[in-house]
Structure 1
Amino acid sequence: MLESISLQQGRKLVLHAQGLPAKSRSGDPLTHSLHALKALGYVQIDTISAVVRAHHHTLWNRNPHYHCDHLTQLIANKQAFEYWSHAAAYLPMKDYRYSLLRKNALADGTLDHWYPRNPKLMAQVLRRIHDEGPLMAKDFESPSTAFKSKPKDWTSKPAKQALEYLFMQGDLMIKERVNFHKVYELTERVLPSDVDTQTPSEQDYWRFLITRFLRANGLGQANEIAYLRKNTKTGIKQTINTMLEAGELTELDVAGEHYYALPSQLDALNTPIKRSHLHILSPFDNLLIQRKRMQTLFAFDYLLECYVPAHKRQFGYFSLPILWDTKLVARMDCKVDRKGKVLHIHHLVLEASLRKVDAFQQALTKSLEAFMAFNQCQTYILHKTTHLA
């Protein structure tokens, strides 16, 4: 049976599931960071460092006591691992087995990698790590003592490609990062002894993708669940139909749009949500990584302009979306001057729909204090403000 809810109720389901605003928690901050990672299912890794990198930024918004060494600790504790979600990501170790279908498909050639396969070089790389222990790509820039002469294709670029291929097909894992550089190690020397390594069936995999997405996002569509996952949409659609027939899913009409949800999550409609707290989000935050979804549910048209030529940018190089009053109401282009400990807000842009400007400014001022501290800044400079017509 199709249940109709308002757009505001749909947003409420999404924000409760996303942990926004973050709930107050006592106890160990590292444990809360692991809880947030498990609840989200993944956090995307990104290299842009205009402000604190996206994977840290995303968890900080769910755990105000998050520290940037938490992910390092979770990897060291074997409670999290790096792999591919819709993009490079940190994932909870409890979900490790669901990475095996992709790894196996790459290993047997069912799925193509973006790098060419070089079996000879891959075997040499694997042997070096087996014999020498964890290595980085830069360790392959000079000849190994294991070889009398340097293979002619033993350069950093092919070796890096071999490392990534071995990582993606499951022979290697990322043991740690040193100055953000990956340290590769044999999978059997990284995995905890109690992790489930049984490859799921395709049916179990589709069910996992569906339930994980809906738990983390409140509601969703088949194409959103399959986002940037090759060859999954048909299986996801078929499994959704099976779960609907079994009463495991609910169909929702949200202001004319068709979604699915887990029945238990509809209880969140009766749970109050804090509307006064303001969140400065990463462009890669789980809430808004699917831009079309955000446009439909939050009427927020967003483009990350760091990939746009400078003269064509409307809002700035690295514009951070701002969530307040359960809406995406603004964006601000930021860059940290780490030497001077200054947060530069090059352009603050308020959406045309924002009416409570004074209340918003008070909430932003309060949140900026925490955001500056998180970025190790002592002050900020606001260079320009625009209120869209």
Structure 2
Amino acid sequence: MTSVRILSRAEAARIAVQAQLLTAQRPGDIVETVQSLTVLPIDPTAAIAPTADLILWSRIGWPYEPSDFRRLFHDDREIFEWHGFYRPMSDLPLFLPEMRRGPRSASARDWVASNERFRRDILDRLRVDGPLRPTDIEDTADVPWRSTGWTNDRNVLQMLEILTGVGEVAVDHRDAKGRWFDLAERIYPEVASPPDDDAARGRAERRLSALGIARRKATAQPGEPIDVGDIGVEVIVDGVDGRWRVDPILLDAGASDPRTALLSPHDRLVFDRVRLREIFGFEYVLEMYKPAASRRWGYFALPILHGDRLIGKLDATLDRRAGTLRINAVHEDEPFAGSTADAVDAEIDDLARWLGVDVARP
């Protein structure tokens, strides 16, 4: 009988941090970073910077330029967008089998079947005039899309979302007003895809390499799972119920040079709030949807990483008109030692320099 290896929480945290490229050994460029992280969340909130930009800056540092990312996405086609995430184009073959299975929900499948003429109209319009915004496309739906949310009766956008999900349409680029869509054949390269089972295993392997440590099975997430099945090495984390899977490359990698980082609330290191508590002992809630009086840490507080520990939250707001990064508060989970406070201040200064503004401290 093979014994299961037991990791301390500190060892588990070290693995997660290394997997997410948050050590002093920074990655060299954007493509390398996206390939290692596997996904970059897309979120329109820009209290400080767009989510993908903030995540890339936190890894690459001052050399990162958002214009370089846009070029890699739109011009060079090194990155593509699918199901709410930017992804490396090198991973496209792993997602083609999932795309080809068709819409995920029965209601979406039935709606598309009832609107076959509408579907053809959109594809024909993109073929002639694409790329286009949703507002550029005529709504010829026979059956409207019904939901209790914001997509109700937004037929063009909903059909574009579904066609993007199944790989007939793709996001060409984004501007200040949102996404432009085109035929996927103009955006995606012609690549062979592996069989379904091999693709699913490949996706899980890629996911574990980016997370470092993950559950075998977890609650389903929109867009990108957080579990990995039987991939990797099974371990126990001391003091935490259940078992985990770990990337074998990182299991015995040893310590690396630490650094301090300011993270997006949507960063994959902190996105899984259950794992966040179990491994890092860190409590975090994104409070932008709470009334101001109910917030503990701020509208869009940034988790603060120091070495392999999450030690607090930064409540800051970018004021472009005033040319300042306004520091509302630095919430210390435990009082910072002098060297820790200096490291956090230095990272705040670096963030402001990258944004091209001054720091306004209370």
Q: Where do 5+ consecutive residues of structure 2 fail to align?
A: 146-152
Equivalence for 2:68 = 70
Structure 1 pair 314/103, CA: closer, same or farther in 2 (3 Å)?
Answer: same
What are the residue-to-residue correspondences of 1:128-277 with 2, within 5 Å?
128-140=125-137, 157-179=154-176, 181-193=178-190, 196-198=191-193, 200-201=195-196, 203-224=197-218, 227-228=221-222, 237=229, 240=230, 249-257=232-240, 258-269=243-254, 272-275=255-258, 277=259
Contact 1:115 1:161 in 2 (8 A): no
The one-letter amino acid of 1:34's match is: V
Deviations for 1:41-98, whole angstroms, at most 9, x for unmatched residues?
11100100111111111111111121112321211211110002xxx01001111122
CA contact (8 A) 1:22 1:61 kept: no
- 2:10 corresponds in structure 1 to 8
5+ unaligned residues in a row in structure 1: which ranges?
A: 144-149, 244-248, 383-389
SS in 2 for 1:16: helix
Offset at residue 381 of structure 1 (A): 2.7
Post-superposition Cα deviations, 1:195-246, rounded to whole Å, max 9, x if no partner, equal: x242532x2133123211221122211235964469997xx64xx1xx6xxx
Report if aligned partners of 2:15, 2:213 keep a CA contact under 8 Å in 1. yes
CA separation of 1:226 and 1:210: change in aligned 2, threshold 3 A: farther
Q: Is the 8 A contact 2:326 2:361 kept in 1?
A: yes
Contact persistence 1:322–1:330 (CA under 8 A): yes
Match of 1:330 in 2: 312
- TM-score in terms of structure 1 length: 0.81
Higher mean displacement: 293-302 or 168-177: 168-177
What is the letter of the counterpart of residue 273 of structure 1?
S
1:135-155 alpha-carbon deviations (Å, 9 max, x no partner):
1112136x9xxxxxx889999
Residue of structure 1 in register with 2:89 after alignment: 93
Q: Residue 368 of structure 1: which of 342, 348, 357 is its match?
A: 348
Work out which of the residue numbers 38, 54, 59 in structure 2 matches 1:57.
Answer: 54
The count of corresponding residues between Structure 1 and Structure 2 is 347
Distance 1:83 1:300, change over 3 A: same
Match of 2:149? Answer: none
**8 A contact 1:220–1:259 mirrored in 2:** yes
Q: Structure 1 CA distance, aligned partners of 2:109 and 2:351?
A: 37
Runs of 4+ in 1 over 3 A off after TM superposition: 109-118, 150-156, 224-233
CA distance in 2, matches of 1:160, 1:229: 17
**Code of the aligned partner of 2:352:** M
Cα distance between partner residues in 1 of 2:252 and 2:225: 33
Q: State the Cα RMSD in Å.
A: 2.8
Q: What one-letter code is carried by the residue in structure 2 that aligns with 1:326?
A: D
Q: Following TM superposition, by how much is the alpha carbon of 1:372 offset from its aligned partner in structure 2, in angstroms?
A: 0.5
Q: For residues 341 and 100 of structure 1, what CA distance do their matches in structure 2 show?
A: 44
Task: Look up the match of 1:106.
Answer: 102
| Structure-2-length-normalised TM-score | 0.87
Q: 1:208 & 1:225 partners in 2: Cα distance?
A: 20
- Give the % identical residues: 24
Letter in 1 for 2:238: A
Which secondary structure state, in structure 2, belongs to the residue aligned with residue 253 of structure 1? strand
Pair 1:40 & 2:37 matched? yes
Shift of 1:284: 0.5
* Cα deviation, residue 366, structure 1: 0.9
| 1:111 to 1:262, Cα distance in 2 relative to 1, 3 A | farther
Q: 1:332 to 1:231 in 2, by over 3 A?
A: closer
Q: Secondary structure at the match of 2:102?
A: helix
After superposition, the Cα gap between the structure-2 partners of 1:82 and 1:3, relative to the gap in structure 1 and judged at 3 Å, is: same
Deviation sequence 1:353-388 (CA, Å, 0-9, x none):
x34432222011111111002222122233xxxxxx
